[in-house]
Amino acid sequence: MAEPLLSVQNLSVTYGVIRALHGVSMEVREGEIVCVIGANGAGKSTLLNAVMGVVRRESGEVIFDGKPLPRRSYQVVAQGVSLVPEGRRIFSPLTVHENLMIGAFPRKDMRQIEEDLEWVYGLFPRLQERKDQYAGTLSGGEQQMLAIGRALMSRPRLLLLDEPSLGLAPILIRDIFKELKRINGEGVTILLVEQNARQALMLSNRGYVLQTGRIVLQGRSQDLLVNPDVTAAYLGKLKK
C-alpha cells in the first residue's frame, strides 16, 4: 500500500497541566476525505492546530508526504497543508478579493495565482459577485465559503477543516459539504473534524472517533454510521 499523505504518530499535546491529546495516531491517504468526530473538548481542534504548528507538539511525529512537517505555521503552509480555522476567522476589514490574495501569500507565480482565483470563484460564484465587498458584510455561509476559498488559494495538497458546519443552517451545511466533495474530486485531500457526526461520516471515506484526547474507534465511515457505539453517542436515533 502507498505511503499515507499525512501520518500522525503517537502525538501528545498539553496545555499547562492539562493534556489535550494522549498519543494520537492516525493517517490520511492521498485523495481521501477523512473525518475526526468527537464531542466538544475531545481534542479535535487541538489535533489540527498541532498539525499546523499553532500549538506545540509535545511528543510524537507528524509526517507529511514522507517528511516530518515543520513546526512553524508558515512553513507548514509552504509544504502544502492549509487550515480552515474554527469560526472561519476571515479578515473582515479586508475585501473578499484581498482575503483570497492573503491565502496565496507564500506563492510567487502571479499567473498561477490568477488561475486559482478563477478556480475558487468557479467553485463559489457568490464570492465573485461580492469580490469588492468587505468580508465582514458577508453572511455566515458566504464567510465559510470565503474561509475555504482562502485556504485553497495556497494550492494545498491537504486541506484541513475545523468544524465547517459550525453556526450554519442545515441547508447551507449541505451546500458546503457538496462543495467539499467537489474540491476533493479535483485532487485535494481533505481532513475534517466535526461535531456534526452524521454529515461528516456521510461525506467521508474513513473516520476516527476522538474521546478525551484518545482515538477510541476508527474505520470506514459507512461502518461507523451503523456502529451501535457511534450511533448511541454521536448520532442520536436514526429516523426510520
Partner 1 sequence: MGTLAQQLINGISLGSVYALIAVGYSLVYSILLFSNFAHGGFLVIGGYICYYTLTVLGNNIWVAGGLSLLGAGIAAVLTERIAYKPIRERTNITLYLLIASLGMSIVIENIFVIVAGGRFRALPPVIPTNPVHLFGLTTTSAFDLLSLVVAFVFLTGLQLFIVKSKWGLAIRAAAFDLKTAGLMGINVNLLISIVFFVAGMLAAVGGIFLSVRYTLYPQLGGITIKAFVAAVVGGLGSLPGAVVGSLILGLAEMLTAGFISSQLRDLVVFSLLVITLLVKPTGLFGKKPTEKV
Nearer to partner 1, 131 or 198 (CB): 131
List residues near partner 1 by CB under 8 A.
Answer: 52, 54, 72-74, 77-78, 82-83, 85, 89, 91-94, 98, 101-103, 105-106, 150, 154
Shortest spacing between CB 52 and partner 1, in angstroms? 6
Nearer to partner 1, 154 or 221 (CB): 154
Shortest spacing between CB 145 and partner 1, in angstroms? 17
Instruction: Name which of 80, 84, 78 is nearest 5 in CA terms.
Output: 80
Nearer to partner 1, 73 or 212 (CB): 73
Shortest spacing between CB 82 and partner 1, in angstroms? 7
Nearer to partner 1, 113 or 210 (CB): 113
Nearer to partner 1, 54 or 217 (CB): 54
Shortest spacing between CB 109 and partner 1, in angstroms? 13
Shortest spacing between CB 151 and partner 1, in angstroms? 8
Shortest spacing between CB 144 and partner 1, in angstroms? 14
Nearer to partner 1, 91 or 119 (CB): 91
173, HSE (Cβ side, Cα atoms, 13 Å)? 17
The 3 state secondary structure assigned to the chain is: CCCCCEEEEEEEEEECCEEEEEEEEEEECCCCEEEEECCCCCCHHHHHHHHHCCCCCCEEEEEECCEECCCCHHHHHHHCEEEECCCCCCCCCCEHHHHHHHHCCCCCCHHHHHHHHHHHHHHCHHHHHCCCCEHHHCCHHHHHHHHHHHHHCCCCCEEEEECCCCCCCHHHHHHHHHHHHHHHHCCCEEEEEECCHHHHHHHCCEEEEEECCEEEEEEEHHHHHHCHHHHHHHHCCCCC
